[in-house]
């Protein structure tokens, strides 16, 4: 275990900007969940729902305190075990998935734990980030950045992504797969790989994305994708994204109500605790519509600024630590949070298609919260175990 200087001065070793940002998001979460649950006749027991979410926060805070005690060398050693554990959980959920949730969503992604459900892919995200950071750090210590070695690094990254991609495909969880792709994309950008490779690779990815958009937005293209096991509900979400005011009795129903709720908030919102529009699944995926309706455009922008401040503090700590292993970890975590925020808010205002992506630290759900809080714990450990050096040898671990 690495030595830590100034052990008595623990106050200065805590990243209070991040702590206060997450605490504020927690208050927003409990408020939004209470308002949504209080106005949803299908849920009932709003106090119980808020209490459960508060309990998840207590559990996740304990996890953060535990994780931030690990320094970079320990995290480096633990990365393969975390990744392997995540893979085992992703395999296990294919056989032990919650049948009722599968009937509702078509995804084999949740365990049933008494009255609670747990989604292992959420905790796999930080585990995957840890492993990715180890792979990139280890490779860069052994090889100079050349065309051949950089392609080898990309191959190693894809080798660790492939099992996750296959298991998520078997779970029918395309939305979560997009998060892992975003994480990989961010880590590759900061890994030192030459732009002679990055430009063509990202160019090809852009072209493939354009082709995918063309396929999913045309009837003929959807027929082609249907032969590759794309589901009807996925096309329904695409069609509702393209025409949210079309058939609002089917796939566009939830999106249409979300946009109606956010629009009704106008500039300053309906007021504290006041909502007039019913939106399905509002405590989780559509939680942003609560903010938009009650606090309006001003409140929505304030929430986005709060996320921006949180990301800024994470980036600042990364530069202060001057530790390459930590920098890859923080990049993955930042990309994970950014993608969640962009996708969740984007789908609520019809900027992006509907997916089951929660709003970080705000949406109801224990597994998503724990996954994000593990990421916070890893960032806080950078400040707690501040080291002004860059790893020099893999054997030092």
Q: Which parts of the chain have pLDDT scores under 50?
A: 1-8, 388-397
Other C-beta atoms within 10 Å of 117: how many? 17
Report the C-alpha gap between 394 and 397 in whole angstroms: 6
pLDDT digits (tens, 9 = 90+) for 38-84: 888 777 788 999 999 999 999 999 999 999 889 889 999 999 999 99
Q: Where in the chain are the domains?
A: 11-396
Please tell me the total number of residues recorded for the chain in this structure: 397
Instruction: State the pLDDT at residue 228.
Output: 64
Q: Is 116 helix (H, G, I), strand (E, B) or coil?
A: strand
Instruction: State the pLDDT at residue 110.
Output: 87
Give me the phi and psi of 358, to 5 degrees please. Answer: -80, 160
Q: Tell which residue, 4, 16, 7, 1, has the closest CA to residue 310.
A: 16
Positive/negative CA dihedral, 7, 75, 327, 87: negative
Q: Please state the pTM of the whole predicted model.
A: 0.89
Positive/negative CA dihedral, 356, 360, 361, 362: negative
Report the C-alpha gap between 12 and 5 in whole angstroms: 11
pLDDT digits (tens, 9 = 90+) for 182-233: 999 999 999 999 888 989 888 888 888 788 777 777 777 767 766 666 666 6
Q: Are 266 and 291 in contact (CB under 8 A)?
A: no
DSSP annotation of 118 reads: E
């Amino acid at each position: 275990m690495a030595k830590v200087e100034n052990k008595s001065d623990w106050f200065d070793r805590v990243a209070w900007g991040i702590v206060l940002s997450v605490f504020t998001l927690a208050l927003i979460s409990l408020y939004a969940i209470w308002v949504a649950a209080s106005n949803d006749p299908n849920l009932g027991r709003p106090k119980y729902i808020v209490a459960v979410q508060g309990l998840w926060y207590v559990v996740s805070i304990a996890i953060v305190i535990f994780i931030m005690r690990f320094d970079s060398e320990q995290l480096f050693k633990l990365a393969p075990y975390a990744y392997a554990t995540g893979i085992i959980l992703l395999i296990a959920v294919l056989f032990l998935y919650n049948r009722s949730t599968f009937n509702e969503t078509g995804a084999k992604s949740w365990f049933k734990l008494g009255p609670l459900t747990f989604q292992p892919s959420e905790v796999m995200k930080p585990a995957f980030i840890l492993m990715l950071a180890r792979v990139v750090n280890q490779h860069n210590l052994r090889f100079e950045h050349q065309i051949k070695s950089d392609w080898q690094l990309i191959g190693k990254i894809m080798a660790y992504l492939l099992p996750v991609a296959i298991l998520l495909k078997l779970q029918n969880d395309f939305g979560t797969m997009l998060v892992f792709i975003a994480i990989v994309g961010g880590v590759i950008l900061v890994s030192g790989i030459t732009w002679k490779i990055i430009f063509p690779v990202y160019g090809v990815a852009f072209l493939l994305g354009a082709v995918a958009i063309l396929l999913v937005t045309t009837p003929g293209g959807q027929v082609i994708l249907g032969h590759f096991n794309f589901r009807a509900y996925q096309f329904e979400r695409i069609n509702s994204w393209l025409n949210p005011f079309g058939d609002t009795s089917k796939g566009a129903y939830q999106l249409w109500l979300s946009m109606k709720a956010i629009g009704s908030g106008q500039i300053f919102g309906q007021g504290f605790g006041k909502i007039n529009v019913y939106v399905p699944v509002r405590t989780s995926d559509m939680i942003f519509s609560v903010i938009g309706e009650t606090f309006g455009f001003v409140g929505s922008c304030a929430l986005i600024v709060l996320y921006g401040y949180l990301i800024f503090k994470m980036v600042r700590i990364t530069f202060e630590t001057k530790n390459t292993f930590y920098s890859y970890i923080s990049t993955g975590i930042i990309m994970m949070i950014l993608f969640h925020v962009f996708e969740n808010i984007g789908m609520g205002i019809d900027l992006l298609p509907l997916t089951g992506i929660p709003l970080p630290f705000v949406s109801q759900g224990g597994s998503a919260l724990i996954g994000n809080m593990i990421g916070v714990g890893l960032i806080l450990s950078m400040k707690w175990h501040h080291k002004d050096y860059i790893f020099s040898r893999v054997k030092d671990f």
